[in-house]
Structure 1
Amino acid sequence: MTMKAIKFISTTGLLIGAALSLAACGQNTKNAAKTAKKFPEQTPQKTAKQGGTLTYAIETDTPFKGIFDSQLSVDQVDSDVMQFGNEALFDTDNQYKITNKGPATFKLDKKAKTVTITVKKGVKWSDGKQVVAKDLEYPYEMTANKATNSLRYSDSLANIVGMKAYHDGKAKTISGITYPDGENGRTIVIHFLAMKPGMLQSGNDYFIETAAPYHHLKDVPFSKLVSSDQIRKDPLFFGPYKVSKVVRGQSVTWVPNKYYWRGKPKLNKIVAQVVSTKTASQAIKSHKFDIADVVNSDWQAVKNAKNTNFIAKIPLAYSYLGFKVGKWENGKNAMDKNSKMNNKSLRQAIAYAMNINQVEKRYTQGLTFRVPTLIPAQFGDYFDKNAKGFPYNLKKANQLLDQAGYKKEGKWRVQPNGKPLNIHLAAMSGSAVQEPIIQNYIQQWHKIGLHVSLTGGRLIEFNSFYDKLDHDDKNIDMFMAAWSLSTEPSPRGMYSETNPMNDSRFATKENNKLLNEIDSTKAFNHQYRVEAFHKWQQYMNDEAYIVPMTNSYAIQAVNNKIVNYSLKPAAANSVWYKVGYAK
């Protein structure tokens, strides 16, 4: 299923399920695409037999949180753990355009400013109850009610009539979501203040593409939802498998949902189990799992594994370097003009000093590649192919600092006001090569006279990292993180003024204006929207609040007896229904 703004665990070259590389790259996307031809996107597509247990590796160096609800969880690991049951409302084609082949149908009325969603008869929760209209509406309440502390509420959702009043506690219901056949019918109509060009694409942020079992959750106060047994231990899904057993933070066992609307899935059981990124390669070689992600820096060690098919895709994702320039205050990002990182020349110099090409050559064998902008090339002409990003240039980095008044006093530069400049970098722990990679970048910054050190003196565990970042820990000046992106390219869901996941806290009038242009009614004209995307990318690279770093091939090692497993976008919703062992 597609989701906007899932936070990645960042390790070197590990993508699906545990994440994005902080190692960088020297390849351009064209060369990267050439490398990709080595890998198919799917296993053989043939008749599968009934039965068997599939083991799936969840690669992470920390226990998963186990928040099994799409609106309350924001990290990729939970998303991977619940993928076997957590089906989205809509199927898509391979360009991520919504089709009516999935659990629900979708109809947009531009003139009436409405979207009508109808769930199909026979789409049932894993306890046998039909998914109803109230189940389609309830995720909006869960997201917008401040008591849940959901990070997914945004100004995109505030485009729904009555949503802001509900979020602000001024209304008990969301007036813009109506039930033509009642709450126990199968249809909701969503009324919008303005129609947006991205609404035909999955992952657009303007409406929610999941349902929540109201009958299962209604007695849990919003403030206790995220910690409730209904979310953590006994979640309900309408996908092909249901939760049988949860070993908190370590594994989830899935068995067939006998009420699944497409039919009977092939496998008797799926066990999703945590494995450390440090031991993932050994697990692949010893066939401990039927499906496991390849840590790209370990590719040479695993590429000759027997009885294994390797499949891959370039995901909609990137790693980035972000600079803290403010705080989250009163429901929005508030910039601090006196922040030590609120100097464009300093940010650009830090970006130019990163020897990304050398790191890629040393660690990733061409499987990680530099991205020059915050819009991935997979988005076609929305991607600005003229964007250069920040190629390695120590001379330019030094010039920028000199011209901006960052003078050297001994070994280190001081701020233009003469005060010492100590910069604290927050970065996540990860695979075996994570530490040397981060230390390499710190040494690069030392070369240009910047006193950079790790926040707390060490790499930070994933959950703790995002806790510190989201709560604006005063010991973080810059940070390395990553996004898993929506299939609708608008960046509003990550970088708007009112989005709490905009962890840099930058919020400018110009950014607001450019984001509004991308999502304006005028942008129903494709060329207008293309130009708006290009302007935003140029602005972001100039300001460098967020510096694009890398993307990587997401390679998976799959038992060669497994059939019908696919990474193609159109297969996302139905893949686990079809996956099984060859006859």
Structure 2
Amino acid sequence: MNKIKALGSIGLLTGAALALAACGNKNNANNQDASKEKFPQTVPNKPKKNGGTLKYAILANTPFKGIFEDTLSTDSIDDTVGQFGHESLVTSNGSYEITNKGAATFKLDNKAKTITFKLKKGVKWSDGKPVTAKDMEYPYEIIANSKSGSQRYSSLLENIVGFKEFHEGKAKTIKGLEMPNGENGNTLVIHFKEMYPGMNMIGSGYFWKSATPYHYLKDVPMNKLISSDKVRQKPLFFGPYKIDKIVRGQSVTWSPNKYYYKGQPHIKKITETVISSNSAAQALKSHKFDIIDVVNSQWQQVKNTKGYNFIANTPLSYNYLGFKVGKWDKKAGKNVMNKNAKMNNKALRQAIAYGMNVDQVNKRYTQGLTFRIPTLVPKAFGEFFDKDIKGYTYNIKKGNELLDKAGYKKKGTYRVQPNGKPLTIHLAAMTGSSTQEPIIQNYIQQWKKMGLNVKLTGGRLIEGNSFYDKVQNDDPGIDMFMAGWSLAGDPSQNNLYGERAPFNFSRFVTKENNKLLAEMDGKKALNTEYRKNALWKWQKYMFDEAYVVPVSNAYKITAVNSKLTGYSVSNDSDLGWNDVAFTK
């Protein structure tokens, strides 16, 4: 349930998550437009009973990593796997604003430049130990410690007093994290240098919104944390369920956390199992699972299956095409652009974007359940989305004109670089469902029409975990890549595209981008109109520069056993996994 994971953190979309948005089964490529169907966001409310085993499908074309520590986890599949135990300290409403209905209360004080988290009574880890102030403080130590391997460090967190000094080894503690009634108390006060817009949003990157069991992990060295059994095999949670058994990368079995602060959840046992997107339709039709996501291209095959309620939303996520124009400098902790990079030519990037027939692909493979998006700020962010930007629509003629003008001359079938050297562009893309390969090959053929020689990195699609490993480590065999984001509930772009953001996989850094990012999150942006205009300016800039080109988003349809109640995919639902039950 998307309400459960209100972590406000960014996730990488891997194979099957991308498949939900962009790929599928060629056999049902008809022209019925499914986007006109109306889907509810919540299953019908019915009387509940206790007990039963819930079978949950994890759609993934690759084994899950199984990193059950939020500060270290980066992909959306692990978030999905851990959702029954993970719970944020705070919840949010339909506008992504933080509410006080979670495990802790949240108080923002602009005058004192503080945010205070206060744990509610009875919040305990699944081993019975209370969640403490130190558990709320410890995630910051993990994120700021370069040995931990956390990808969560950002310039936004440097706004916490003493955070940067701790990160650089100049201080032994983070001065701005105060525990007024001690480490074993219930309160954490965060002191900031400045207060900024979006600090009341669940997705803001200025502070962390989950806890880490310090008593359990304190003896694990930082450089061993990510591989530790305490993180991967026997993690602790303060949410409604705890892990009983893990078959690494394949399945997880859960039972109720008897210490859960909201009382005993209804379901006795939950089993999660990984299945590939190609098997999803058959698994659904044979009622193998109680909850399973629908691969959009398989909708026509499964839509009439009895015994399920089909609910849907448009998730805060998107797929994109990124161009490698630099490298991550680990020592300096920032992105460094290479002005001589092959893809560091705006005309080349724009031409490639015009060469993608995204609308045709979506119509053919998903009957309108997947749709092209024009900018990097999703429509779900309301007024912050710039509706005047139309994005890169398919236009081979315009692409050719751009390439001609920029000096990419044709020599035979393919074009050469302006310096006369051959031009081969290596594209990294992930494995997915049965039509991922034909869709990618289709784009390669479109680019060939413009005289661009595009080849797959390594000659084939790359398994999801390996793909992100290559992209994150700036593999020299990648010139451009197709990936996806699961977003946080705040329109700030600093965590994804900032100079000091590890997630800025394109590695582009410009003075203008730094300026625009600073404007959208600066003090003046406390005025909503100012922030809106700053975000609009950034969207226009990114559309023009095309370092990252937005491709598509999709309706996410979930099939839920009609004997289940209390399940919702609505943004403003207060339902959690403790509310889900079989009906009487």
**Which TM-score band applies after superposition, normalised by the shorter structure?**
over 0.9
- The answer as to whether partners of 1:122 and 1:130 remain within 8 angstroms in 2 is yes
Partner of 1:503: 505
Structure 2 counterpart of 1:170, which letter?
Answer: K
The answer to whether structure 1 residue 72 and structure 2 residue 75 are counterparts is no
Structure 2 counterpart of 1:87, which letter?
Answer: E
The answer to whether structure 1 residue 578 and structure 2 residue 558 are counterparts is no
The answer to whether structure 1 residue 52 and structure 2 residue 52 are counterparts is yes
Question: How many residues align structurally?
Answer: 570
Partner of 1:351: 353
Query: 2: CA distance between counterparts of 1:64 and 1:486?
Result: 21
Query: 1: CA distance between counterparts of 2:542 and 2:298?
Result: 33
**Offset from partner CA, 1:179-198 (integer Å, 9 cap, x none):** 11011100011111111111
- The answer as to whether partners of 2:136 and 2:211 remain within 8 angstroms in 1 is yes
Question: Which runs of 5 or more structure 2 residues have no equivalent in the other structure?
Answer: 1-5, 25-31
**Offset from partner CA, 1:23-63 (integer Å, 9 cap, x none):** 59xxxxxxx99936521101112321000010110111111
Structure 2 counterpart of 1:212, which letter?
Answer: T
Partner of 1:267: 267
Query: 2: CA distance between counterparts of 1:198 and 1:96?
Result: 10
How far apart are residue 112 of structure 1 and its match? 1.2
- The answer as to whether partners of 1:292 and 1:557 remain within 8 angstroms in 2 is yes
Structure 2 counterpart of 1:118, which letter?
Answer: K
User: What SS does structure 2 have at the residue aligned with 1:571?
Assistant: coil
Structure 2 counterpart of 1:468, which letter?
Answer: K
Q: How does 1:432-447 map to 2 (within 5 A)?
A: 432-447=434-449
**Offset from partner CA, 1:530-553 (integer Å, 9 cap, x none):** 101100000000000000000011
Partner of 2:433: 431
Query: 2: CA distance between counterparts of 1:396 and 1:233?
Result: 53
Partner of 2:246: 246
User: What value does the CA root-mean-square deviation take over the aligned residues?
Assistant: 1.5
- The answer as to whether partners of 1:41 and 1:568 remain within 8 angstroms in 2 is yes
Query: 1: CA distance between counterparts of 2:7 and 2:362?
Result: 29
Query: 1: CA distance between counterparts of 2:52 and 2:114?
Result: 45
- The answer as to whether partners of 2:34 and 2:368 remain within 8 angstroms in 1 is no
Query: 1: CA distance between counterparts of 2:438 and 2:17?
Result: 11
Query: 2: CA distance between counterparts of 1:565 and 1:11?
Result: 22
How far apart are residue 308 of structure 1 and its match? 1.1
Partner of 1:391: 393
**Offset from partner CA, 1:469-523 (integer Å, 9 cap, x none):** 0000000000000000000111111111001111000011111110111101111
The structure-2 alpha-carbon separation of the partners of 1:436 and 1:345, relative to structure 1 and needing over 3 Å to count, comes to same
- The answer as to whether partners of 1:199 and 1:206 remain within 8 angstroms in 2 is yes
Partner of 2:473: 471
Question: Which runs of 5 or more structure 1 residues have no equivalent in the other structure?
Answer: 16-20, 25-31
How far apart are residue 12 of structure 1 and its match? 7.9
Partner of 1:179: 179
Partner of 2:309: 309
- The answer as to whether partners of 1:429 and 1:459 remain within 8 angstroms in 2 is yes
The answer to whether structure 1 residue 374 and structure 2 residue 376 are counterparts is yes
- The answer as to whether partners of 2:23 and 2:434 remain within 8 angstroms in 1 is no
TM-score (norm 1): 0.96
Structure 2 counterpart of 1:389, which letter?
Answer: G
Query: 1: CA distance between counterparts of 2:15 and 2:549?
Result: 15
- The answer as to whether partners of 1:11 and 1:434 remain within 8 angstroms in 2 is no
How far apart are residue 95 of structure 1 and its match? 1.2
- The answer as to whether partners of 1:201 and 1:487 remain within 8 angstroms in 2 is yes
Partner of 2:14: 9
- The answer as to whether partners of 2:18 and 2:319 remain within 8 angstroms in 1 is no
Q: Equivalent of 2:456, from 424, 446, 454?
A: 454
**Offset from partner CA, 1:386-405 (integer Å, 9 cap, x none):** 01110011100000000000
Structure 1 counterpart of 2:580, which letter?
Answer: V
How far apart are residue 101 of structure 1 and its match? 1.4
User: What SS does structure 2 have at the residue aligned with 1:445?
Assistant: helix
Partner of 2:223: 223
**Offset from partner CA, 1:82-136 (integer Å, 9 cap, x none):** 0001000001111111111110011111111111111112011111111100000
How far apart are residue 3 of structure 1 and its match? 3.1
User: What SS does structure 2 have at the residue aligned with 1:549?
Assistant: strand
TM-score (norm 2): 0.96
Q: How does 1:24-39 map to 2 (within 5 A)?
A: 35=35, 38-39=38-39
Partner of 1:18: none
Partner of 2:191: 191
Structure 2 counterpart of 1:470, which letter?
Answer: Q
